[in-house]
Structure 1
Amino acid sequence: MPWFIRSKKNITTPTESKKDVKKGLWYKTPSGKIIETEELKANAYVSPEDDHHVQIGSQEYFEILFDEGKFTELDANVESKDPLNWTDTKPYKDRLKEIKKKTGLNDSIRNAVGKMHGRDITISCMDFKFIGGSLGSVMGEKIARAIDYAIKNKTPYVIITQSGGARMMEAAISLMQLAKVEAKLIQLADN
């Protein structure tokens, strides 16, 4: 059925269905300009129209930083649990299920190894899409593991932060991760 008909003036549109454009092909800059997503990606997610830095996640950072975007993820299956059986407006377990499904992430940080300018490197990257990049028990553990990997394999270590702070659903357990990470960073500096 045509989507536009003016029978009094005998105007109709073709009866073929309207074509849908794939989501994500275009990006609207804060200044209102429309640019192709590929152009934005080629410019390291900085809008050429107004120099706006677009918020990106760990996948995009890894693709930018590692040579040819090739990397191996470390500890990909380590995921958040609910150590305190936390419930506020909904159980933390349910929040975790929802955010994992929505983002495809297991936690708010990912570790990866690969090459940068031909040199081996270890990178941890927080991802704001997962509960605001908040620090929980898994983040602390994954940072510690990445630092251990960097020390063992004698690679430089880079961490990209974008966090909303400690994860309240894990209370003191999330805060204890600060000491754990600090101790590992001191160990890294000593090597």
Structure 2
Amino acid sequence: MRETILLVSLGERFDAARARDLAGRLTDGLAGVAVSAFAALEAEDTYVYVSGGKALPEIRARLAELAPGAHVRLLHRTLDLPGASAGQDAPWHYIVETDVLPEADADLNAWYDQEHLPGLASVPGTVRAQRYECRDESPRYLACYDLQTQETFGSPPWLAVRASDWSSRVRPSFRNTRRTMFRKIL
């Protein structure tokens, strides 16, 4: 469960062919490496997730050569939940990245783990919900949702989960928050 991955922000929008080329060059000759890529809808960015355990230092070195302007973050997975639509295709990927006021840290983590992430995972159209922590830089927390349709986000069941009293108490403590919808390209 506590997998460590690299999250690479490329700072520009890639198409599927370009993402496949980068993934091939990153993983060439390395066993057990998985790469997925998502292009932001409203920003000039592509996020690439790389898992590979012991190969991550080699991949990080390759990234420095292949994508010198990329921002690479080491993420530690803290929660991974199958969604109500687990097993279905998930071409949409929604991410919330945030810091939180220090005095609200425990409340935020309890809210995400006990109410928010399980609630959004249970929404029809959610394929998977995950949380990560970035221990070395900001934003510290990242929650991501793989979605069957873009309409899942903002659907009445989705909005009902977001409308809880606990959500209203926690959200004002968010800082440095980025919310981004992505389309899967690899």
**Shared fold (TM-score, shorter chain, > 0.5):** no
Say which structure is richer in strand. 2
The alignment's TM-score, normalised by the length of structure 2, stands at: 0.31
The alignment's TM-score, normalised by the length of structure 1, stands at: 0.31
Instruction: From the CA coordinates, give the structure whose radius of gyration is larger.
Output: 1
